[in-house]
């Protein structure tokens, strides 16, 4: 089993951190992983994306042209990367900032109001964690426990951020699963 996922959005939305945490969770589970970040020339405010590959076997190439999954935080990124997602794939869309859908009937799109949820829990910068929680709940590529462990490890020197980021993960997972139930 090998799964490729692209996290995409504006610089400053925590795209790289979300991808890194997923990769760390994969490593925790003993999987082969690759995490390749890419920044637009503007960095903050420009395009930012990263590719994560998680596999049970050695990874031939970390380069991902047509990933199976996409976690997308802004409209330009959906418009750019949405068409490249493989059939039968999964797109997690930040519906707070993206009023449109991927307009594809050959994959699953789960719309989660990531920014709205992050603001509700008092963590406006936590939309990336909401999206990560939604992705893990829908894809089941790694266990949520492994992601939570990665969050604890990543924020160990900023202990006050651990609980609020764990809450964002959980709320994202709940919202995504509720959206899947509602939309079949």
Q: What CATH code is carried by the domain that includes residue 126?
A: 3.40.920.10
Q: How many domains does the chain have?
A: 1
Q: What integer pLDDT is reported at residue 63 of this predicted model?
A: 84
**Residue-level pLDDT at 158:** 87
Instruction: Tell me which residue of 86, 131, 93, 132 sits closest to 109, measured CA to CA.
Output: 93
pLDDT at 54: 97
CB neighbour list of residue 5: distance below 8 Å, 6 or more residues apart: 19, 22, 51, 52, 53, 54, 67, 68, 69, 70, 71, 135, 139, 141
Distance from C-alpha of 104 to C-alpha of 116, rounded to nearest angstrom: 25
Predicted pLDDT of residue 40: 64
Determine the pLDDT at residue 181: 76
Whether residue 19 contacts residue 135, with contact meaning beta carbons closer than 8 Å, is answered with no
Residue 44: per-residue pLDDT: 57
Q: Which domain holds residue 154?
A: 2-183
* pTM listed for this prediction: 0.94
């Amino acid at each position: 089993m090998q799964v490729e996922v692209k996290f995409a959005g504006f610089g400053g939305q925590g795209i790289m951190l979300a991808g890194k945490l997923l990769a760390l969770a994969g490593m925790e589970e003993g999987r082969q992983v690759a995490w390749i970040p890419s920044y637009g020339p503007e960095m903050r405010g420009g395009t930012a994306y990263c590719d994560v590959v998680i596999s049970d076997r050695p990874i031939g190439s970390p380069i991902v042209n047509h990933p199976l999954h996409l976690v997308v935080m802004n409209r330009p990124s959906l418009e750019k990367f949405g068409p490249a997602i493989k059939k039968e794939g999964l797109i997690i869309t930040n519906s707070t900032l993206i009023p449109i859908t991927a307009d594809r009937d050959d994959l699953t799109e789960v719309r989660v109001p990531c920014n709205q949820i992050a603001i509700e829990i008092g963590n406006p910068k936590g939309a990336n964690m909401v999206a990560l929680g939604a992705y893990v709940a829908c894809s089941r590529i790694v266990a949520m426990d492994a992601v939570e462990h990665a969050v604890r490890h990543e924020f160990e020197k900023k202990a006050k951020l651990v609980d609020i980021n764990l809450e964002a993960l959980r709320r994202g997972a709940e919202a995504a699963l509720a959206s899947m139930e509602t939309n079949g």
